[in-house]
Chain A
Amino acid sequence: MNETTGGIEDDEGSGIVKKFMFVNRKAPYGTIYALEGLEVVLISAAFDQDVSMAFLDDGVYQLVKGQHTKALAVKNFSPTYRALEGYDIEKLYVERESLEMRGLNADDLLVPVEVLSSAAMGDLMKTQDVVIGF
């Protein structure tokens, strides 16, 4: 979709700050979406935009503590979510219903997050300039 690239390129150097929300809805290792999404978010930090991440559905599994991938021989990228703060990406939102459906709560997650109801999440999405899903 054109909003993904258009937003970034148009703003480079112009000083305009847009609100970007990256919506993560996939579990971490079954597909490449979560890792690719995380890399895009890290790169987006270089553009000085207002970046947030939302975790819904299986996306909440990305943040679960205690991931050990050694036996799978794939990279455990869960510690990287703790680096986001250093990249000035501090707005991490998690949908409460997604957590509850999976028997999880905020204490099971490896980074501090803001837990929002579905309605509050929907309201927040509406206020974004660009919403990109992974």
Chain B
Amino acid sequence: MALEVNGKTYETDEEGYLLNLSEWDEDIAKVLAEGEKVDMTENHWEVVNFLREYYNDYQIAPAVRVLTKAIGKKLGAEKGNSKYLYELFPYGPAKQACKIAGLPKPTGCI
């Protein structure tokens, strides 16, 4: 599969995850978010950027439970809970936010 952004084509896997992590930019994220029917706000970007940092540090996309805990640690308890994250990304914070962040599907996401 492929994604078209600003006249350029980017390869994705069969579920729409960007294949080449390094191609990612905010415009691509916006198109990926549209595909997920997610309206990107500052809070959404915060999670997406957090995920990219996490991936950069550890070379994996975190499982939801791990993401929740790590966000709580960094951004505070009011954001480090699944209610908050599911409100931002109703079809699963790990799955949807990872896709928008240009990361592969999380390890341990069964």
Which residue numbers of A lie inside 8 Å of B, CB to CB?
A: 39, 42-43, 45-46, 75-77, 79-80, 82-83, 86-87
A87 vs B57: C-alpha distance in the bound complex, in angstroms? 15
- Near A by CB (< 8 A), chain B positions 41-57 give 57
With a cutoff of 8 Å between Cβ atoms, the chain B residues found around residue A75 in the complex are 59
| Cross-chain pair count, CB within 8 angstroms | 38
The reply to whether A77 and B59 contact each other, CB–CB distance below 8 Å, is yes
Which residue numbers of B lie inside 8 Å of A, CB to CB?
A: 57-60, 62-63, 65-66, 69-70, 107-108, 110
Contact of B108 among A42, A76, A77, A79 (CB under 8 A): A42
15 chain-A/chain-B pairs, Cβ below 8 angstroms: A39-B107, A42-B63, A42-B108, A43-B107, A43-B110, A45-B63, A45-B66, A79-B58, A80-B58, A80-B59, A82-B58, A83-B57, A83-B62, A83-B66, A86-B66
